[in-house]
Structure 1
């Protein structure tokens, strides 16, 4: 029997760990066979935060981070296969996004670390990685990549759907019947919420279920100032990251928020900063349904505010459609690996602004 199983690996801007999933793409469908999450230990997380924030990166520091990260990727693969009583011979290849250290779309540059050659050797499996550079070479922004996958598995012949990924950065995929998918990064989600929470709490990296945000009150004047950032008015294609939306950005745009305003009120306002651009897109395009995935789905306050701003538009977890919301991104990279393995071009010109569709990703053999 032909093998159509691919592993997807994703570690995003939230820097919480590695998501791994095994997907079977047989019979022109996608069946998620299993998932595994491998958290980053605090030391590695601090190291990755430094790499993302420090413009002066010592080669030795980078080498140490990439070695540790690659070991976590390999461990996630082995744990996933072990949990399913499978071995590497049951898998075609691994698709690995890598850890983004810099994303500079205006300079056609995006840097993900992860050492795919070493990962291939550790797992004794082919690895597909470096998905963004091919799109950028064709004039695209290299992000977001998810809309092509979302179109393949969430698209509907009659409904206009909006797929929302609430990761470190929020991104949307607009799926209209008989149209190519479009999508873009809408702005910050967990990256600012987590950073502001960590500034005021020493015992956790994120706001559990959004409880702290729920204790505050969104401040209209602060929200208006933050939404005044030119990124929110910029027309797609567009993509962004924590290089832009970070605590330094918050301090620059709203210095009073850092010292004078109640910290929980700032957190509540940052929830609205994540939600309002998404709801505005849904209203402007008269979408029939919003499907949400990503770590932000665990933030009850974020989800409640999103549903409030959407009004009567149904808001559903991707779980309703057969994909665990915590692993939609990793499933997407399993799919991208399968597309590369089969030498299929990925339709992203309407998303990234590339001048033509192309095959994405390089291939590293063990």
Structure 2
């Protein structure tokens, strides 16, 4: 059976850099089947790389993401800068893997989300990173703009990875939930004999990262040490848990435009007591773990349901321990135990999404996003 190579590029809401993954797929007999959303065979991860994001670019993106005043000139310049950043990340991966551009069928580039508003009178989502630049600078056909077709069909445009998760993890006799903890946390729920379910549960690392950076200048709370030095504050936790997004029914999605440092500071202002910096961090970790666990627990089915965790949060032992404590009836592990690198799951997913688009195959799941129909997502930018 013939084999095709794709590169997935992912820059998430944490803004901590660009993940790239070189993935091999067998070209199976399903090509041309518009109703198929699962890989024909298990993809093979051949190479990965992490490319840093300059602090100046991250700062400019944060300003836009958190709703500060901007203009078309700034948006256009960020789009251009990100196009070059993603191109450089792809080219570095090619060099590392010893692969020529001509050997790669396509690049799947998620782009950098700067605003996601799937509800209201004028739903829209905006990802920056000019795909024309990526195609020109890498010499590889590029697929981008994955979310807006789903939204045009009435969907949330997110999350897009549950179909990929369904193809990766074979159905068990019990529930399997795949949890990605990036800036935002999202779940894919795989239950025996049931359609796949997926949605954003709420914040992942985003608030914890913002708080530790504000007070210690660290990009993230390494090993959860800052959180471990504090104690959960019940009043602050109750204030955070009252956020209306958490009680909304799925399908739903959210992002940095909602959960951000000003939002957190507003919650702290509303409290009648002062909370120490370490206690805030401890409470944020509990908030993230509790909002995830409450949603995961809803889907328990079978003798031993399992939670498979990927994304940056898997590297926080305090967070992983808390999830295990809150889900005593579940097997909690990272996706590496199931044969998939937890740090590159999403980059692999966008390699798969590019493959689906190149072959004209569906890649959204209407039950997940709320779209009115299946669709082959993404726009193709040829060399």
Q: Which moved more, 1:288-297 or 1:154-163?
A: 154-163
- Equivalent position SS for 1:218: coil
**Residue 243 of structure 1: aligned partner:** 257
What's the counterpart of residue 229 of structure 1? Answer: 243
After superposition, the C-alpha distances for 1:22-66 in whole angstroms (9 at most, x for unaligned) are 111116221000100001121111121122124422333223322
- Per-residue CA deviation, residues 200-245 of structure 1 (Å, 9 max, x unaligned), is 112x211111100010111122111111111111110110011111
Aligned to 2:280: 266
Residues 155-304 of structure 1 correspond to what in structure 2 (within 5 A)?
155-202=170-217, 204-255=218-269, 260-287=274-301, 288-304=305-321
Partner of 1:209: helix, strand, or coil?
helix
C-alpha displacement at 1:267, in angstroms? 0.7
Question: What CA distance in whole angstroms lies between the structure 1 residues aligned with 2:365 and 2:232?
Answer: 36
How far apart are residue 259 of structure 1 and its match? Answer: 8.0
Q: Does the residue aligned with 1:92 lie in a helix, a strand or coil? A: strand
Deviations 1:79-128 (A, max 9, x none): 11111111111110000000001000103200000101111111111111
- Residue 134 of structure 1 pairs with residue 149 of structure 2: yes
User: Separation in 2 of the partners of 1:320 and 1:212?
Assistant: 27
- State the distance in 1 between where 2:184 and 2:295 align: 16
Q: 1:259 to 1:88 in 2, by over 3 A?
A: farther
Pair 1:77 & 2:90 matched: yes
SS at match of 1:25: strand
- Map Cα deviations across residues 153-177 of structure 1 (whole Å, 9 max, x no partner): 1242423101100000000111112
RMSD of equivalent CA atoms: 1.6
The residue aligned with 1:87 is 100
**Quick check: 2:208–2:220 contact (8 Å CA) kept in 1?**
yes
Query: Judging changes above 3 Å, is the alpha-carbon distance between structure 1 residues 155 and 239 closer, same or farther for their aligned structure 2 residues?
Result: farther
| Higher fraction of helix | 1
TM-score (norm 1): 0.96
Partners of 1:155 and 1:175 within 8 A in 2: no
1:47 aligns with 2:60: yes
What residue in structure 2 maps to residue 150 of structure 1? 165
Distance in 1 of aligned mates of 2:131 and 2:291: 36
Corresponding residue SS for 1:7:
strand
Measure how far apart 1:270 and its partner are.
Answer: 0.7
Question: 1:238/1:258 Cα in 2 relative to 1: closer, same or farther (>3 Å)?
Answer: farther
> Are 2:81 and 1:68 aligned?
yes
SS of 2:19's equivalent in the other structure is strand
Instruction: Assess if the C-alpha contact under 8 Å between 2:201 and 2:295 holds in 1.
Output: no
2:35 counterpart residue number: none
Of 98, 104, 110, which aligns to 2:125? 110
Partner of 2:37: none
Q: Quick one: distance in 1 between partners of 2:67 and 2:259?
A: 15
Q: Does the aligned pair in 2 maintain the 1:346–1:357 contact within 8 Å? A: yes
Structure 2 unaligned runs (5+)?
Answer: 29-40
Structure-1 residue corresponding to 2:38: none
Q: Deviations over 1:233-286 (max 9, x none)?
A: 111011001111112222223316698211111111111111112212232221
| TM-score using structure 2 length | 0.92
The answer for unaligned runs of 5 or more in structure 1 is: none
The residue aligned with 2:327 is: 310
Q: Given that residues 3 and 90 in structure 1 are in contact (C-alpha distance below 8 angstroms), is that contact kept between their aligned partners in structure 2?
A: no
Alpha-carbon distance between aligned partners in 1 of 2:337 and 2:243, rounded to the nearest angstrom? 35
Distance of 2:67 and 2:83 partners within structure 1: 21
Decide which of 30, 54, 67 is 2:43's aligned counterpart: 30
Q: Matched residue of 2:361: which SS?
A: coil
Change (3 A) 1:3 1:155: closer
CA distance, structure 1, for counterparts of residue 67 and residue 273 of structure 2 = 24
Q: How many residues align?
A: 365
Secondary structure at the residue paired with 1:195? helix
Alignment-derived partner of residue 341 in structure 1: 358
1:57 aligns with 2:74: no
Mark the CA change 1:206 to 1:226 in structure 2 (over 3 Å): closer, same or farther: same
Q: Is residue 2:334 matched to residue 1:320?
A: no
Secondary structure at the counterpart of residue 12 of structure 2: coil
